[in-house]
């Protein structure tokens, strides 16, 4: 439990560094009592890290069994409340071991614990929900077999990443209505399998209500409209879900308009990318005055010092991740863990060296972390100034800028015709 709390605290600080915003509405998560948390799974074990940091109660996690194969990894993962789940792709002969997992999960729930389950059973980095597996239902059946008078809650959580692999982007998380489950609910079905199917349908509906689903073919249009939307700064999940649903309906019911929108968004994207811009920067950029530039200039020496203190772990972490990670679903997860570990090692080493000279060196970790936060703020300001300069270059090219304005007007017209006019 101590190790869990320490890592939770450290990773909360790390998330503040790696993400521009983690916006979560998890007020409905029960604070106590038997709880199963059913979540979608777009970004490998980073999903579990984020939820463990945000949900203020100890949790256990079901994880693929192959990561427990080594003795040392099994020891550490168990200390971090992970429980192995055996999947068909890891060998049919191991599926029988899942009974131990269900027994252990039932014991945790009987003690009033919480278990996080990624109910899709697979992590794929796209904006789409997949059919739910039956593992959650089997845990419930085992629990009521051992606790016929027991009750539990099932909470659904939708995770949505702006750009899953990128550094300093945004994450949106929300949970739906909790589903209460007891033995009387189970007895209302002619067969337990019917109960599991019915529960999975309810969970799927709740996840859909809090998950952005976009077909790959519509991704450019979704990013264009959502990033040009007036709610972009608010990072509104409900608005993004509405945009995604509207695009799907447009594709089904008005394919000609959908095709025009796709072409226009691609044209706009090509022009913006030529100047290394995107729809986000086009929307939020309102220009810059002399005072902003002077502030940036005066703070640049301090930013260079902060960069020197922190560049090694992040550059090395990215290099290691680029070299070792083959599947994109694991990229962000590995990078955040490696970056965090290398940062701690580096600054702990510096602390051990400095402490020999004076006890006040104990304040060094706080100084190092704050310097990192300052540099990230300076970095955002630098990106803003840079995008302003690039936008000025675009405006000087009258032909391309006029073409961009014409295309954007057509995008706005189509957007308005389908009820997506900004409020």
Same domain, 422 and 276: yes
Q: Are 23 and 172 within 8 A, CB to CB?
A: yes
Number of domains in the chain: 2
pTM: 0.90
Residues 192, 327, single domain; the answer is no
Q: What phi and psi, each to the nearest 5 degrees, are found at residue 80?
A: -95, 15
CA distance 245 to 214: 8
The range of the structural domain enclosing residue 98 comes to: 2-208
Residues 202 and 243 in one domain: no
How far is it, in rounded angstroms, from Cα 129 to Cα 158? 10
Instruction: Return the CATH number at 23.
Output: 3.40.1130.10
**Which two three-digit tokens encode residue 108?**
């945790």
Residues 204 and 183 in one domain: yes
Which of the listed residues 208, 242, 270 is the one where a domain comes to its end?
208
**Domain C-terminal end among 183, 208, 233:** 208
- Are 201 and 159 contained in the same domain? yes
Question: Is there a single domain that holds both residue 368 and residue 239?
Answer: yes
77 and 156 in a single domain? The answer is: yes
Q: What is the 3-class SS of 132-155, one letter each residue? A: CCCHHHHHHHHHHHHCCCCEEEEE
Picking from 156, 181, 208, the residue at the C-terminal end of a domain is: 208
Residues 307 and 166 in one domain: no
What does the DSSP 8-state code read for residue 333?
H
pLDDT in tens, the chain (423 residues): 778 888 899 999 999 999 999 999 999 999 999 999 999 999 988 999 999 999 988 999 888 777 676 666 667 777 778 888 877 666 566 666 778 888 899 999 999 999 999 999 888 888 999 999 888 998 999 999 898 888 999 999 999 999 888 999 999 999 988 999 988 888 888 888 898 899 999 999 999 999 999 998 899 999 999 988 877 778 889 999 999 999 999 999 999 999 999 999 999 999 999 999 988 887 655 666 788 889 999 999 999 999 999 999 999 999 999 999 988 988 999 999 999 999 999 999 999 999 988 888 899 999 999 999 999 999 999 998 898 889 989 999 999 999 999 999 999 999 888 888 765
Residue 138: how many other CB atoms lie within 10 Å: 18
Distance CA 18, CA 227 (A): 21
CA distance 192 to 196: 6
Q: Quick one: 271 and 418 in the same domain?
A: yes
Instruction: Count CB-CB contacts under 10 A for residue 380.
Output: 11
Instruction: Let me know whether 236 and 326 are in one domain.
Output: yes
176 and 265 co-located in one domain: no
- Within this chain, do residues 149 and 273 fall inside the same structural domain, yes or no? no
């Amino acid at each position: 439990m101590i190790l869990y709390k320490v890592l939770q605290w450290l990773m909360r600080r790390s998330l503040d560094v790696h993400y521009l915003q983690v916006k979560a509405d998890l007020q409905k998560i029960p604070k106590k009592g038997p709880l199963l948390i059913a979540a979608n799974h777009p970004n490998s074990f980073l999903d579990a890290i984020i939820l463990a940091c945000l949900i203020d109660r100890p949790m256990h996690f079901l994880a693929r069994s192959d990561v427990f194969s080594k003795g040392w990894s099994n020891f550490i993962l168990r200390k971090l409340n992970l429980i192995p789940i055996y999947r068909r792709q890891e060998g049919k002969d191991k599926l029988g071991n899942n009974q131990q997992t269900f027994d252990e999960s039932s014991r945790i729930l009987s003690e009033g614990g919480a278990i996080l389950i990624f109910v899709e059973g697979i992590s794929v980095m796209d904006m789409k929900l997949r059919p739910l597996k039956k593992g959650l239902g089997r845990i419930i059946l085992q629990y009521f077999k051992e606790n016929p008078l027991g009750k539990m809650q099932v909470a659904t959580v939708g995770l949505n990443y702006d750009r899953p692999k990128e550094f300093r982007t945004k994450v949106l998380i929300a949970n739906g209505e909790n589903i209460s489950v007891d033995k009387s609910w189970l007895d209302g079905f002619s067969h337990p399998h019917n109960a599991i199917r019915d529960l999975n349908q309810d969970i799927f509906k709740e996840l859909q209500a809090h998950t952005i689903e976009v077909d790959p073919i519509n991704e450019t249009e979704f990013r264009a409209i959502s990033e040009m939307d007036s709610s972009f700064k608010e990072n509104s999940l409900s608005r993004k879900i509405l945009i995604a649903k509207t695009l799907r309906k447009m594709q089904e019911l008005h394919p000609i308009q959908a095709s025009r929108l796709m072409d226009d968004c691609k044209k706009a994207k090509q022009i913006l990318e030529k100047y290394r811009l995107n729809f986000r920067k086009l929307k939020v950029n309102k220009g810059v005055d002399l005072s902003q530039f002077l502030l940036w200039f005066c703070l640049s020496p301090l930013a260079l010092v902060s960069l020197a203190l922190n560049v090694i772990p992040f550059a090395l972490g990215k290099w290691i991740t680029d070299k070792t990670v083959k599947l994109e679903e694991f990229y962000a997860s590995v990078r955040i863990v490696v970056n965090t570990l290398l940062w701690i090692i580096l600054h702990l080493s510096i602390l051990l060296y400095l402490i020999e000279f004076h006890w006040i060196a104990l304040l060094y970790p706080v100084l190092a972390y704050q310097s990192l936060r300052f540099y990230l703020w300076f970095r955002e300001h630098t990106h803003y100034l840079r995008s302003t300069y690039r936008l000025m270059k675009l405006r000087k090219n009258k032909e391309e800028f006029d073409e961009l304005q014409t295309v954007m007007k057509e995008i706005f017209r189509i957007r308005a015709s389908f009820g997506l006019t900004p409020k």
